[in-house]
Protein backbone atom coordinates (compact mmCIF):
# COMPACT_ATOMS: atom_id res chain seq x y z
CA UNK A 1 0.00 0.00 0.00
CA UNK A 2 1.14 3.59 -0.51
CA UNK A 3 2.63 5.30 2.53
CA UNK A 4 0.24 7.46 4.56
CA UNK A 5 0.26 11.17 3.72
CA UNK A 6 2.48 13.32 5.91
CA UNK A 7 0.72 15.08 8.79
CA UNK A 8 -0.45 18.59 7.93
CA UNK A 9 1.71 21.53 8.92
CA UNK A 10 0.25 23.34 11.90
CA UNK A 11 0.79 26.86 13.19
CA UNK A 12 3.04 27.36 16.15
CA UNK A 13 2.26 29.83 18.91
CA UNK A 14 4.76 32.17 17.21
CA UNK A 15 3.25 31.94 13.71
CA UNK A 16 2.18 35.28 12.24
CA UNK A 17 -1.15 33.85 11.10
CA UNK A 18 -1.82 32.57 14.62
CA UNK A 19 -0.80 35.82 16.29
CA UNK A 20 -2.82 37.97 13.90
CA UNK A 21 -6.12 36.84 15.39
CA UNK A 22 -6.56 36.46 19.15
CA UNK A 23 -9.59 34.20 18.61
CA UNK A 24 -7.53 31.08 17.82
CA UNK A 25 -5.59 31.42 21.07
CA UNK A 26 -8.67 32.41 23.07
CA UNK A 27 -10.50 29.22 22.13
CA UNK A 28 -7.48 26.93 22.69
CA UNK A 29 -7.58 25.64 19.11
CA UNK A 30 -3.84 25.00 19.04
CA UNK A 31 -4.30 22.13 21.52
CA UNK A 32 -6.45 20.34 18.94
CA UNK A 33 -4.02 21.10 16.12
CA UNK A 34 -1.17 19.59 18.10
CA UNK A 35 -3.05 16.27 18.21
CA UNK A 36 -3.31 16.34 14.41
CA UNK A 37 -6.89 17.64 14.16
CA UNK A 38 -7.18 20.41 11.56
CA UNK A 39 -10.67 19.81 10.12
CA UNK A 40 -9.40 17.77 7.18
CA UNK A 41 -12.16 15.66 5.61
CA UNK A 42 -15.01 17.54 7.33
CA UNK A 43 -17.40 19.64 5.23
CA UNK A 44 -18.91 22.68 6.92
CA UNK A 45 -21.96 24.18 5.27
CA UNK A 46 -22.07 28.00 5.42
CA UNK A 47 -25.59 29.19 4.60
CA UNK A 48 -25.05 32.89 4.03
CA UNK A 49 -24.59 35.56 1.34
CA UNK A 50 -22.22 33.51 -0.81
CA UNK A 51 -18.44 33.42 -0.99
CA UNK A 52 -15.67 34.79 -3.18
CA UNK A 53 -14.76 31.56 -4.97
CA UNK A 54 -11.22 32.61 -5.98
CA UNK A 55 -10.40 34.25 -2.67
CA UNK A 56 -6.67 34.62 -2.17
CA UNK A 57 -6.69 33.12 1.33
CA UNK A 58 -9.78 30.89 1.28
CA UNK A 59 -9.88 29.52 -2.27
CA UNK A 60 -8.05 26.27 -1.50
CA UNK A 61 -10.71 25.20 1.02
CA UNK A 62 -13.88 26.06 -0.93
CA UNK A 63 -15.93 23.12 -2.23
CA UNK A 64 -16.69 22.99 -5.95
CA UNK A 65 -20.27 22.12 -4.91
CA UNK A 66 -20.80 25.59 -3.47
CA UNK A 67 -23.99 26.99 -4.92
CA UNK A 68 -26.70 29.65 -5.04
CA UNK A 69 -29.93 28.12 -3.70
CA UNK A 70 -32.26 30.93 -4.82
CA UNK A 71 -34.13 29.66 -7.86
CA UNK A 72 -33.19 31.17 -11.20
CA UNK A 73 -30.26 33.32 -10.00
CA UNK A 74 -27.19 31.00 -10.12
CA UNK A 75 -24.73 33.50 -8.60
CA UNK A 76 -22.92 31.64 -5.78
CA UNK A 77 -20.46 34.48 -5.27
CA UNK A 78 -22.70 37.51 -4.78
CA UNK A 79 -21.60 41.03 -3.98
CA UNK A 80 -21.86 40.92 -0.17
CA UNK A 81 -18.72 39.85 1.78
CA UNK A 82 -20.47 38.54 4.89
CA UNK A 83 -20.31 34.86 3.87
CA UNK A 84 -16.64 35.14 2.93
CA UNK A 85 -15.75 36.63 6.29
CA UNK A 86 -17.74 34.03 8.21
CA UNK A 87 -15.96 31.26 6.26
CA UNK A 88 -12.58 32.83 7.05
CA UNK A 89 -13.12 32.18 10.78
CA UNK A 90 -13.79 28.52 10.06
CA UNK A 91 -11.26 27.56 7.41
CA UNK A 92 -8.74 30.24 6.46
CA UNK A 93 -5.81 27.89 5.62
CA UNK A 94 -2.36 27.85 7.17
CA UNK A 95 -0.44 29.00 4.11
CA UNK A 96 1.95 31.72 5.25
CA UNK A 97 -0.57 34.43 4.43
CA UNK A 98 -3.35 36.30 6.20
CA UNK A 99 -4.88 34.63 9.22
CA UNK A 100 -5.76 31.04 10.13
CA UNK A 101 -9.16 29.47 10.78
CA UNK A 102 -10.18 27.30 13.71
CA UNK A 103 -10.47 24.24 11.40
CA UNK A 104 -8.03 25.46 8.77
CA UNK A 105 -8.15 22.31 6.64
CA UNK A 106 -11.94 21.93 6.65
CA UNK A 107 -13.93 22.23 3.43
CA UNK A 108 -16.39 25.11 3.08
CA UNK A 109 -19.63 24.29 1.28
CA UNK A 110 -20.98 27.78 0.64
CA UNK A 111 -24.72 27.99 -0.01
CA UNK A 112 -25.88 31.44 -0.99
CA UNK A 113 -29.45 32.05 0.21
CA UNK A 114 -29.73 35.83 0.66
CA UNK A 115 -32.13 38.13 -1.13
CA UNK A 116 -32.12 41.93 -1.42
CA UNK A 117 -35.89 42.50 -1.32
CA UNK A 118 -36.00 43.07 2.44
CA UNK A 119 -39.00 44.27 4.43
CA UNK A 120 -36.77 46.32 6.73
CA UNK A 121 -35.16 49.18 4.77
CA UNK A 122 -32.18 49.08 7.19
CA UNK A 123 -31.24 45.61 5.93
CA UNK A 124 -29.36 45.22 2.65
CA UNK A 125 -29.48 41.43 2.90
CA UNK A 126 -32.23 39.17 4.24
CA UNK A 127 -33.46 35.58 3.94
CA UNK A 128 -36.69 33.69 3.26
CA UNK A 129 -37.56 30.64 5.36
CA UNK A 130 -38.24 28.57 2.25
CA UNK A 131 -34.80 29.36 0.77
CA UNK A 132 -33.11 28.53 4.06
CA UNK A 133 -35.00 25.22 4.18
CA UNK A 134 -33.75 24.34 0.69
CA UNK A 135 -30.22 25.37 1.72
CA UNK A 136 -30.26 22.96 4.69
CA UNK A 137 -31.46 20.10 2.49
CA UNK A 138 -28.73 20.87 -0.05
CA UNK A 139 -26.02 20.92 2.64
CA UNK A 140 -27.13 17.56 4.04
CA UNK A 141 -27.34 16.00 0.58
CA UNK A 142 -23.79 17.13 -0.22
CA UNK A 143 -22.02 15.79 2.85
CA UNK A 144 -22.01 18.67 5.34
CA UNK A 145 -21.46 17.44 8.91
CA UNK A 146 -21.74 20.91 10.43
CA UNK A 147 -23.83 23.89 9.27
CA UNK A 148 -23.18 27.48 10.30
CA UNK A 149 -26.03 30.02 10.32
CA UNK A 150 -24.73 33.53 11.01
CA UNK A 151 -28.14 35.12 10.53
CA UNK A 152 -31.18 35.92 12.63
CA UNK A 153 -34.46 37.72 13.08
CA UNK A 154 -37.21 38.49 15.54
CA UNK A 155 -39.50 35.49 14.95
CA UNK A 156 -39.62 31.79 14.06
CA UNK A 157 -38.86 30.88 10.46
CA UNK A 158 -41.93 28.81 9.73
CA UNK A 159 -42.92 25.22 9.12
CA UNK A 160 -40.79 24.61 6.02
CA UNK A 161 -37.59 25.69 7.77
CA UNK A 162 -38.39 23.76 10.94
CA UNK A 163 -39.06 20.60 8.93
CA UNK A 164 -35.73 20.97 7.10
CA UNK A 165 -33.96 21.64 10.41
CA UNK A 166 -35.47 18.46 11.83
CA UNK A 167 -34.42 16.44 8.76
CA UNK A 168 -30.84 17.71 9.06
CA UNK A 169 -30.56 16.93 12.78
CA UNK A 170 -32.10 13.49 12.24
CA UNK A 171 -29.38 12.91 9.61
CA UNK A 172 -26.69 13.62 12.25
CA UNK A 173 -25.85 17.17 11.14
CA UNK A 174 -25.26 19.76 13.88
CA UNK A 175 -25.56 23.53 13.84
CA UNK A 176 -23.71 26.59 15.11
CA UNK A 177 -26.06 29.60 15.03
CA UNK A 178 -25.39 33.24 15.93
CA UNK A 179 -27.43 34.64 18.83
CA UNK A 180 -27.88 38.10 17.27
CA UNK A 181 -26.47 41.61 17.68
CA UNK A 182 -29.41 43.39 19.34
CA UNK A 183 -28.10 43.15 22.95
CA UNK A 184 -31.25 41.19 23.77
CA UNK A 185 -31.83 39.06 26.83
CA UNK A 186 -32.57 36.03 24.63
CA UNK A 187 -31.16 34.78 21.32
CA UNK A 188 -32.82 35.70 18.06
CA UNK A 189 -34.31 33.11 15.73
CA UNK A 190 -33.20 30.63 14.43
CA UNK A 191 -30.71 30.50 17.31
CA UNK A 192 -33.51 30.18 19.83
CA UNK A 193 -34.47 26.85 18.27
CA UNK A 194 -31.57 25.46 20.33
CA UNK A 195 -33.87 25.28 23.36
CA UNK A 196 -36.79 23.80 21.42
CA UNK A 197 -37.15 20.15 22.59
CA UNK A 198 -37.55 19.03 18.96
CA UNK A 199 -34.00 20.15 18.13
CA UNK A 200 -32.30 19.93 21.53
CA UNK A 201 -28.78 18.58 21.28
CA UNK A 202 -28.33 19.48 17.64
CA UNK A 203 -27.70 23.23 17.97
CA UNK A 204 -25.25 25.49 19.80
CA UNK A 205 -26.35 29.13 19.82
CA UNK A 206 -23.39 31.47 20.11
CA UNK A 207 -22.81 34.86 21.70
CA UNK A 208 -19.75 37.07 21.30
CA UNK A 209 -17.07 38.09 23.78
CA UNK A 210 -13.91 40.18 23.49
CA UNK A 211 -10.23 39.50 24.16
CA UNK A 212 -10.83 40.13 27.89
CA UNK A 213 -13.53 37.42 27.91
CA UNK A 214 -16.28 39.98 28.54
CA UNK A 215 -19.59 39.56 26.75
CA UNK A 216 -19.87 42.10 23.91
CA UNK A 217 -22.27 44.95 24.55
CA UNK A 218 -24.08 44.19 21.26
CA UNK A 219 -24.37 40.41 21.78
CA UNK A 220 -27.69 38.81 22.60
CA UNK A 221 -27.43 36.92 25.87
CA UNK A 222 -28.18 33.27 26.62
CA UNK A 223 -31.54 33.81 28.29
CA UNK A 224 -33.99 30.97 27.73
CA UNK A 225 -31.37 29.05 25.72
CA UNK A 226 -28.72 29.07 28.45
CA UNK A 227 -28.34 25.28 28.46
CA UNK A 228 -27.38 25.33 24.75
CA UNK A 229 -25.42 28.60 24.61
CA UNK A 230 -21.68 29.24 24.33
CA UNK A 231 -19.73 32.45 23.86
CA UNK A 232 -16.85 32.75 21.37
CA UNK A 233 -14.57 35.58 20.19
CA UNK A 234 -16.65 38.07 18.21
CA UNK A 235 -15.04 41.47 18.83
CA UNK A 236 -12.21 42.74 16.58
CA UNK A 237 -11.92 39.40 14.78
CA UNK A 238 -9.45 39.48 11.87
CA UNK A 239 -10.86 37.96 8.66
CA UNK A 240 -10.91 38.15 4.84
CA UNK A 241 -7.22 38.77 4.19
CA UNK A 242 -6.20 39.59 0.61
CA UNK A 243 -3.22 41.36 -0.89
CA UNK A 244 -1.76 43.49 1.92
CA UNK A 245 -4.79 43.97 4.15
CA UNK A 246 -7.33 42.18 6.34
CA UNK A 247 -10.67 43.22 7.81
CA UNK A 248 -11.36 43.59 11.52
CA UNK A 249 -15.02 42.81 12.24
CA UNK A 250 -17.48 42.59 15.15
CA UNK A 251 -20.57 40.48 15.60
CA UNK A 252 -22.00 37.18 16.77
CA UNK A 253 -21.82 36.27 13.07
CA UNK A 254 -18.07 35.79 13.59
CA UNK A 255 -18.39 34.01 16.95
CA UNK A 256 -20.70 31.29 15.60
CA UNK A 257 -18.20 30.01 12.97
CA UNK A 258 -15.59 29.48 15.72
CA UNK A 259 -18.01 26.97 17.27
CA UNK A 260 -18.63 25.44 13.83
CA UNK A 261 -14.86 25.02 13.41
CA UNK A 262 -14.59 23.43 16.87
CA UNK A 263 -17.28 20.91 15.95
CA UNK A 264 -15.36 20.08 12.76
CA UNK A 265 -12.17 19.46 14.76
CA UNK A 266 -13.94 17.08 17.15
CA UNK A 267 -15.64 15.13 14.36
CA UNK A 268 -12.34 14.70 12.52
CA UNK A 269 -10.29 13.73 15.57
CA UNK A 270 -12.87 11.30 16.97
CA UNK A 271 -14.74 9.57 14.12
CA UNK A 272 -16.74 7.52 16.63
CA UNK A 273 -18.55 10.66 17.85
CA UNK A 274 -22.02 11.54 16.69
CA UNK A 275 -22.79 15.18 15.98
CA UNK A 276 -24.92 15.41 19.12
CA UNK A 277 -22.05 14.04 21.21
CA UNK A 278 -19.71 16.68 19.77
CA UNK A 279 -22.25 19.36 20.72
CA UNK A 280 -22.53 17.93 24.23
CA UNK A 281 -18.76 17.84 24.69
CA UNK A 282 -18.37 21.51 23.73
CA UNK A 283 -21.17 22.50 26.09
CA UNK A 284 -19.78 20.40 28.97
CA UNK A 285 -16.29 21.83 28.57
CA UNK A 286 -17.22 25.51 28.30
CA UNK A 287 -14.86 27.71 30.31
CA UNK A 288 -16.65 29.16 33.32
CA UNK A 289 -17.77 32.79 32.96
CA UNK A 290 -20.38 34.85 34.74
CA UNK A 291 -22.34 33.03 37.44
CA UNK A 292 -21.32 29.51 38.38
CA UNK A 293 -22.86 26.91 36.06
CA UNK A 294 -25.21 27.76 33.22
CA UNK A 295 -26.37 31.37 33.46
CA UNK A 296 -28.53 33.79 31.49
CA UNK A 297 -25.57 35.77 30.09
CA UNK A 298 -22.83 33.30 29.09
CA UNK A 299 -24.91 30.13 29.09
CA UNK A 300 -22.47 27.23 29.45
CA UNK A 301 -19.45 29.55 29.32
CA UNK A 302 -16.71 30.35 26.82
CA UNK A 303 -15.75 28.01 23.98
CA UNK A 304 -12.74 25.95 25.17
CA UNK A 305 -11.43 23.63 22.46
CA UNK A 306 -8.39 22.62 24.53
CA UNK A 307 -10.61 21.28 27.30
CA UNK A 308 -12.88 19.56 24.77
CA UNK A 309 -9.82 17.62 23.56
CA UNK A 310 -9.19 16.28 27.06
CA UNK A 311 -11.04 13.30 28.57
CA UNK A 312 -14.58 14.20 29.63
CA UNK A 313 -16.58 12.40 32.31
CA UNK A 314 -15.63 9.00 33.67
CA UNK A 315 -12.41 7.83 32.04
CA UNK A 316 -11.38 4.19 32.21
CA UNK A 317 -8.57 2.00 30.98
CA UNK A 318 -9.10 -1.63 29.93
CA UNK A 319 -7.06 -4.15 31.90
CA UNK A 320 -5.77 -7.57 30.97
CA UNK A 321 -8.09 -9.12 33.58
CA UNK A 322 -11.11 -7.70 31.75
CA UNK A 323 -12.54 -5.11 34.15
CA UNK A 324 -11.64 -1.48 33.34
CA UNK A 325 -9.94 0.83 35.80
CA UNK A 326 -11.56 4.19 36.51
CA UNK A 327 -8.91 6.81 35.72
CA UNK A 328 -10.04 9.36 38.31
CA UNK A 329 -7.02 10.95 39.97
CA UNK A 330 -8.01 11.57 43.57
CA UNK A 331 -7.15 15.02 44.96
CA UNK A 332 -4.61 14.86 47.74
CA UNK A 333 -3.54 11.27 47.00
CA UNK A 334 0.14 10.32 47.23
CA UNK A 335 2.39 7.28 47.50
CA UNK A 336 4.45 6.45 50.55
CA UNK A 337 7.52 8.55 51.15
CA UNK A 338 10.00 5.69 50.49
CA UNK A 339 8.87 5.59 46.82
CA UNK A 340 9.97 9.17 46.17
CA UNK A 341 8.88 10.25 42.67
CA UNK A 342 9.69 6.88 41.06
CA UNK A 343 6.11 5.90 40.21
CA UNK A 344 5.22 9.27 38.72
CA UNK A 345 8.47 9.52 36.76
CA UNK A 346 8.42 6.15 35.04
CA UNK A 347 6.98 5.84 31.56
CA UNK A 348 5.96 2.24 32.23
CA UNK A 349 2.51 3.30 33.44
CA UNK A 350 1.51 5.03 30.18
CA UNK A 351 -1.49 3.38 28.55
CA UNK A 352 -4.73 4.01 26.66
CA UNK A 353 -7.96 5.20 28.24
CA UNK A 354 -11.53 5.79 27.11
CA UNK A 355 -13.57 8.76 28.29
CA UNK A 356 -17.36 8.86 28.72
CA UNK A 357 -17.73 9.22 24.94
CA UNK A 358 -15.44 6.26 24.20
CA UNK A 359 -12.77 8.57 22.82
CA UNK A 360 -9.28 7.11 23.01
CA UNK A 361 -6.56 9.06 24.85
CA UNK A 362 -3.00 8.39 25.83
CA UNK A 363 -2.96 8.42 29.63
CA UNK A 364 -0.08 8.43 32.10
CA UNK A 365 -1.41 6.44 35.05
CA UNK A 366 1.74 7.32 36.96
CA UNK A 367 0.32 10.82 37.47
CA UNK A 368 -2.03 9.30 40.06
CA UNK A 369 0.91 8.35 42.26
CA UNK A 370 2.18 11.72 43.39
CA UNK A 371 5.11 12.20 45.70
CA UNK A 372 4.32 12.30 49.42
CA UNK A 373 4.24 15.75 51.03
CA UNK A 374 7.42 16.67 52.82
CA UNK A 375 7.20 16.85 56.56
CA UNK A 376 8.43 19.97 58.26
CA UNK A 377 11.93 19.87 59.70
CA UNK A 378 11.01 22.50 62.26
CA UNK A 379 10.82 21.16 65.80
CA UNK A 380 7.24 20.53 66.83
CA UNK A 381 5.59 22.96 69.17
CA UNK A 382 5.17 20.95 72.39
CA UNK A 383 1.61 20.79 73.68
CA UNK A 384 1.50 21.28 77.47
CA UNK A 385 -0.65 18.48 78.88
CA UNK A 386 -2.52 18.16 82.16
CA UNK A 387 -2.41 14.56 83.38
CA UNK A 388 -4.64 12.76 85.83
CA UNK A 389 -3.71 9.32 87.22
CA UNK A 390 -5.54 6.83 89.40
CA UNK A 391 -3.63 3.83 90.79
CA UNK A 392 -5.19 0.94 92.70
CA UNK A 393 -3.55 -2.08 94.35
CA UNK A 394 -5.16 -5.43 93.68
CA UNK A 395 -4.86 -8.89 95.17
CA UNK A 396 -1.59 -10.76 94.83
CA UNK A 397 0.45 -7.61 94.26
CA UNK A 398 -1.45 -6.62 91.12
CA UNK A 399 -1.56 -2.93 90.29
CA UNK A 400 -4.09 -1.13 88.09
CA UNK A 401 -3.43 2.33 86.66
CA UNK A 402 -5.67 4.66 84.67
CA UNK A 403 -4.05 7.74 83.12
CA UNK A 404 -5.82 10.48 81.15
CA UNK A 405 -4.24 13.57 79.60
CA UNK A 406 -5.76 16.72 78.08
CA UNK A 407 -4.10 19.95 76.94
CA UNK A 408 -3.43 22.74 79.38
CA UNK A 409 -5.50 25.78 78.52
CA UNK A 410 -3.20 28.31 76.89
CA UNK A 411 -3.78 31.75 75.36
CA UNK A 412 -4.86 31.73 71.72
CA UNK A 413 -1.70 32.05 69.56
CA UNK A 414 -1.37 35.08 67.34
CA UNK A 415 -0.57 32.82 64.37
CA UNK A 416 -0.86 29.03 64.34
CA UNK A 417 1.84 27.07 62.54
CA UNK A 418 0.24 24.27 60.54
CA UNK A 419 1.71 21.52 58.39
CA UNK A 420 0.02 19.28 55.78
CA UNK A 421 -0.49 16.71 58.56
CA UNK A 422 -2.48 18.70 61.09
CA UNK A 423 -5.39 21.13 61.56
CA UNK A 424 -7.46 23.01 60.56
CA UNK A 425 -8.25 20.94 57.46
CA UNK A 426 -8.00 17.68 59.41
CA UNK A 427 -10.66 18.71 61.90
CA UNK A 428 -8.50 20.63 64.40
CA UNK A 429 -8.94 17.84 66.97
CA UNK A 430 -7.85 18.54 70.50
CA UNK A 431 -5.02 16.28 71.58
CA UNK A 432 -6.22 13.79 74.20
CA UNK A 433 -5.19 10.34 75.33
CA UNK A 434 -6.02 7.70 77.90
CA UNK A 435 -4.04 4.66 79.10
CA UNK A 436 -5.29 1.64 81.03
CA UNK A 437 -2.51 -0.50 82.54
CA UNK A 438 -2.63 -3.66 84.66
CA UNK A 439 0.53 -5.24 86.17
CA UNK A 440 0.51 -8.55 88.02
CA UNK A 441 3.90 -9.98 88.87
CA UNK A 442 5.82 -10.70 85.69
CA UNK A 443 2.83 -9.99 83.44
CA UNK A 444 1.36 -6.71 82.26
CA UNK A 445 -1.40 -5.55 79.94
CA UNK A 446 -2.04 -2.04 78.63
CA UNK A 447 -4.60 -0.43 76.33
CA UNK A 448 -4.18 3.06 74.92
CA UNK A 449 -6.49 5.42 73.00
CA UNK A 450 -5.44 8.77 71.57
CA UNK A 451 -6.70 11.51 69.28
CA UNK A 452 -5.51 14.83 67.87
CA UNK A 453 -2.06 13.55 66.93
CA UNK A 454 -1.24 11.72 70.15
CA UNK A 455 1.51 9.14 69.79
CA UNK A 456 1.36 5.62 71.12
CA UNK A 457 3.39 5.13 74.31
CA UNK A 458 4.41 1.67 73.03
CA UNK A 459 6.80 3.11 70.43
CA UNK A 460 9.91 2.42 72.48
CA UNK A 461 11.67 -0.54 70.84
CA UNK A 462 12.92 -1.88 67.55
CA UNK A 463 10.44 -1.95 64.68
CA UNK A 464 9.05 1.45 65.56
CA UNK A 465 9.94 2.71 62.10
CA UNK A 466 7.43 0.35 60.47
CA UNK A 467 4.81 0.36 63.23
CA UNK A 468 4.66 4.16 63.10
CA UNK A 469 3.44 4.02 59.49
CA UNK A 470 0.09 2.71 60.77
CA UNK A 471 -0.43 6.10 62.47
CA UNK A 472 -2.23 4.18 65.20
CA UNK A 473 -4.69 6.03 67.39
CA UNK A 474 -5.49 2.98 69.54
CA UNK A 475 -3.33 0.04 70.54
CA UNK A 476 -3.01 -2.76 73.11
CA UNK A 477 0.12 -4.42 74.47
CA UNK A 478 0.83 -7.46 76.59
CA UNK A 479 4.21 -8.37 78.11
CA UNK A 480 5.93 -10.95 80.27
CA UNK A 481 9.28 -10.48 82.04
CA UNK A 482 11.74 -13.38 82.41
CA UNK A 483 14.85 -13.68 84.51
CA UNK A 484 17.89 -13.16 82.30
CA UNK A 485 20.07 -15.70 84.18
CA UNK A 486 22.09 -12.94 85.75
CA UNK A 487 22.48 -10.93 82.57
CA UNK A 488 19.46 -8.73 83.14
CA UNK A 489 15.73 -9.18 82.55
CA UNK A 490 14.22 -10.33 79.24
CA UNK A 491 10.83 -8.93 78.20
CA UNK A 492 8.66 -10.72 75.67
CA UNK A 493 5.89 -8.46 74.39
CA UNK A 494 3.18 -8.45 71.75
CA UNK A 495 1.18 -5.47 70.61
CA UNK A 496 -1.26 -4.42 67.95
CA UNK A 497 -2.82 -1.14 66.92
CA UNK A 498 -4.78 0.55 64.16
CA UNK A 499 -5.43 4.06 62.97
CA UNK A 500 -7.56 6.30 60.81
CA UNK A 501 -6.16 8.37 57.96
CA UNK A 502 -6.95 11.98 57.17
CA UNK A 503 -6.22 14.33 54.31
CA UNK A 504 -7.20 17.94 53.52
CA UNK A 505 -10.93 18.32 52.76
CA UNK A 506 -11.49 14.55 52.65
CA UNK A 507 -13.68 12.30 54.77
CA UNK A 508 -11.87 10.26 57.41
CA UNK A 509 -10.84 6.76 56.32
CA UNK A 510 -11.34 4.68 59.46
CA UNK A 511 -9.08 1.85 60.60
CA UNK A 512 -7.33 1.58 57.24
CA UNK A 513 -3.88 0.89 58.71
CA UNK A 514 -2.99 -1.65 61.36
CA UNK A 515 0.09 -3.38 62.69
CA UNK A 516 1.02 -6.31 64.91
CA UNK A 517 4.45 -6.71 66.47
CA UNK A 518 6.23 -9.20 68.74
CA UNK A 519 9.44 -8.11 70.46
CA UNK A 520 12.14 -9.46 72.71
CA UNK A 521 13.98 -6.86 74.81
CA UNK A 522 17.03 -7.34 77.04
CA UNK A 523 18.10 -4.74 79.56
CA UNK A 524 21.49 -4.97 81.19
CA UNK A 525 23.50 -2.79 83.48
CA UNK A 526 25.23 -1.16 80.50
CA UNK A 527 22.48 -0.69 77.96
CA UNK A 528 20.12 -2.99 76.16
CA UNK A 529 19.23 -4.78 72.94
CA UNK A 530 15.91 -5.49 71.26
CA UNK A 531 14.62 -7.56 68.38
CA UNK A 532 11.14 -7.47 66.88
CA UNK A 533 9.18 -8.83 63.96
CA UNK A 534 5.70 -8.08 62.75
CA UNK A 535 3.33 -7.15 59.97
CA UNK A 536 1.85 -3.90 58.73
CA UNK A 537 -1.46 -3.89 56.81
CA UNK A 538 -2.33 -0.75 54.82
CA UNK A 539 -5.54 -0.62 52.78
CA UNK A 540 -4.69 2.74 51.17
CA UNK A 541 -1.21 1.91 49.99
CA UNK A 542 2.21 0.79 51.15
CA UNK A 543 4.58 2.50 53.55
CA UNK A 544 2.44 5.50 54.47
CA UNK A 545 0.68 6.07 51.14
CA UNK A 546 -2.64 7.91 50.94
CA UNK A 547 -4.61 6.40 48.04
CA UNK A 548 -8.34 6.52 48.95
CA UNK A 549 -9.79 3.04 49.30
CA UNK A 550 -12.60 3.67 46.79
CA UNK A 551 -10.05 4.67 44.12
CA UNK A 552 -9.07 2.09 41.53
CA UNK A 553 -5.49 3.28 42.16
CA UNK A 554 -5.51 2.16 45.79
CA UNK A 555 -2.69 -0.26 46.58
CA UNK A 556 -3.74 -2.54 49.47
CA UNK A 557 -0.53 -3.94 50.87
CA UNK A 558 0.95 -6.08 53.58
CA UNK A 559 4.49 -5.56 54.85
CA UNK A 560 6.32 -8.13 56.95
CA UNK A 561 9.21 -6.60 58.83
CA UNK A 562 11.99 -7.38 61.28
CA UNK A 563 14.24 -4.99 63.18
CA UNK A 564 16.89 -4.86 65.86
CA UNK A 565 18.22 -2.03 67.95
CA UNK A 566 19.97 -1.11 71.13
CA UNK A 567 21.46 1.60 73.30
CA UNK A 568 24.89 1.96 74.84
CA UNK A 569 26.06 4.41 77.55
CA UNK A 570 29.29 6.13 76.50
CA UNK A 571 30.03 7.79 79.82
CA UNK A 572 29.78 11.43 80.76
CA UNK A 573 26.01 11.28 80.46
CA UNK A 574 26.11 10.37 76.74
CA UNK A 575 23.96 7.53 75.41
CA UNK A 576 24.17 6.21 71.84
CA UNK A 577 21.11 4.43 70.50
CA UNK A 578 20.13 3.03 67.11
CA UNK A 579 17.79 0.83 65.15
CA UNK A 580 17.80 -0.89 61.76
CA UNK A 581 15.14 -2.93 60.05
CA UNK A 582 13.96 -4.28 56.74
CA UNK A 583 10.58 -5.19 55.27
CA UNK A 584 9.07 -7.06 52.36
CA UNK A 585 5.91 -5.50 50.93
CA UNK A 586 3.32 -7.31 48.84
CA UNK A 587 0.89 -5.15 46.83
CA UNK A 588 -2.32 -6.37 45.22
CA UNK A 589 -4.19 -3.38 43.78
CA UNK A 590 -6.89 -3.31 41.13
CA UNK A 591 -4.69 -1.42 38.68
CA UNK A 592 -1.21 -2.20 39.93
CA UNK A 593 0.30 -5.15 41.75
CA UNK A 594 3.78 -6.50 42.31
CA UNK A 595 4.93 -9.82 40.91
CA UNK A 596 7.51 -10.01 43.71
CA UNK A 597 7.79 -8.27 47.04
CA UNK A 598 9.28 -4.80 47.32
CA UNK A 599 12.15 -4.56 49.81
CA UNK A 600 12.48 -1.58 52.11
CA UNK A 601 14.76 -0.65 54.95
CA UNK A 602 14.77 1.81 57.81
CA UNK A 603 17.38 3.03 60.21
CA UNK A 604 17.91 5.73 62.80
CA UNK A 605 20.65 6.75 65.20
CA UNK A 606 20.55 9.11 68.17
CA UNK A 607 22.98 10.57 70.64
CA UNK A 608 21.52 11.80 73.93
CA UNK A 609 23.05 13.82 76.68
CA UNK A 610 22.12 15.40 79.96
CA UNK A 611 21.86 19.17 79.66
CA UNK A 612 24.58 21.35 81.15
CA UNK A 613 23.61 23.08 84.38
CA UNK A 614 23.63 26.54 82.78
CA UNK A 615 21.01 25.57 80.13
CA UNK A 616 17.88 26.70 81.91
CA UNK A 617 14.72 24.81 81.04
CA UNK A 618 16.62 21.98 79.31
CA UNK A 619 16.14 18.46 80.65
CA UNK A 620 17.60 16.33 77.87
CA UNK A 621 19.50 17.04 74.67
CA UNK A 622 19.09 14.64 71.71
Give catalytic residues, as residue numbers: 48, 82, 253
> What is the number of residues in the chain?
622
* Distance, CA of 361 to chain centre: 15
Burial grade of 306 (CB within 10 A; 0-12, 13-18, 19 or more): middle
Per-residue exposure over 354-376, b if at least 16 CB sit within 10 Å of its own CB, e if not: bbebebebebebbebbbbbeeee
Question: Taking a C-beta distance cutoff of 8 angstroms, is the pair 469, 513 a contact?
Answer: yes
Least Cα distance to 141 among 159, 167, 160 occurs for 167
3-class secondary structure, 330: coil
CA distance 622 to 620: 7
CA distance 558 to 556: 7
- DSSP string computed for 504-530: TTS--EEEEEEEEEEEEEEEETTEEEE
Per-residue exposure over 418-446, b if at least 16 CB sit within 10 Å of its own CB, e if not: eeeebeeebeeeebbbbbebbbeeeebeb
CA distance 607 to 24: 64
Question: Taking a C-beta distance cutoff of 8 angstroms, is the pair 600, 338 a contact?
Answer: yes
Backbone angles phi, psi at 229, to 5 degrees: -115, 135
Least Cα distance to 108 among 143, 64, 62 occurs for 62
Which sign does the torsion angle of CA 96, 102, 103, 109 carry? negative
What are the E-state strand segments in 63-137? 67-68, 107-112, 114-115, 126-127
CA distance 406 to 393: 25
Q: Please list, in sequence order, all residues whose beta carbon lies within 8 angstroms of the beta carbon of residue 126, skipping any fewer than 6 positions away.
A: 114, 115, 116, 117, 118, 119, 120
CA distance 587 to 597: 8
Least Cα distance to 58 among 306, 319, 246 occurs for 246
Amino acid sequence: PPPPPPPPAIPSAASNEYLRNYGAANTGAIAAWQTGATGRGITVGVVDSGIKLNHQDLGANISSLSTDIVAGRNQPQGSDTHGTRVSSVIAAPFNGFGTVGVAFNATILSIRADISECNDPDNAVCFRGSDLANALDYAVANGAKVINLSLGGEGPLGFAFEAALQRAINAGVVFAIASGNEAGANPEWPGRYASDPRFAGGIIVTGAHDSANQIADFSNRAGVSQSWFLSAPGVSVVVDCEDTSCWRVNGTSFASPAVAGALALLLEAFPNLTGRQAVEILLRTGREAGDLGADVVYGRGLLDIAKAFQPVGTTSSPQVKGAPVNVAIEPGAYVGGPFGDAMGRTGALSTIGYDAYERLFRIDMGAAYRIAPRRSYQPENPTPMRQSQVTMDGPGGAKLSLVAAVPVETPEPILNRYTPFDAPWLGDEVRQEALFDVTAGRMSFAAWQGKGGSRSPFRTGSGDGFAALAQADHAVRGAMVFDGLGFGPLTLSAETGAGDRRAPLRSVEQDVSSYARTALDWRGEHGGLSFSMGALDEKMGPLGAYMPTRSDFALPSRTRFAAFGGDLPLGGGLVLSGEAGFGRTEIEGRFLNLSSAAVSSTWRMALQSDCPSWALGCSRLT
